[in-house]
Amino acid sequence: MYFMNICTWDPKEEKKVRDRRKTWKWPSKVKVIFEFLDLQGCRVINILDTDEKGLIASRSHWVDILKFETFPVYPIGDTKKKLSIK
């Protein structure tokens, strides 16, 4: 299943987010489709292919400093073709 996360953090936490991200790895059950850093700051958007357990695992290391908005999503148009969904 595909999920979209919009992850935001307080500007005061910027260094902590950057430092943690340097060593953090996505859980093995999570396939990252897209990941974008908002150039205006303090926000990352990602699309993941995983199940509920993978989603929980991907968030567990961050809940102390990130706010998550998570939505189940389904690709359409060219994106659907690129991901080879039938």
- pLDDT digit string, tens, across residues 8-51: 999 999 999 999 999 999 999 999 999 999 999 899 999 999 99
Residue 60 · residue 71 · CB < 8 Å:
no
Number of domains, the chain: 1
Among 69, 84, 74, 75, CA closest to 9: 69
Which residues form the domain of 61?
2-82
| CATH of residue 27 | 3.30.70.920
Model confidence band, residue 85 (pLDDT cutoffs 50, 70, 90): low
Angle at 81 between CA 76 and CA 86, to 5 degrees: 85
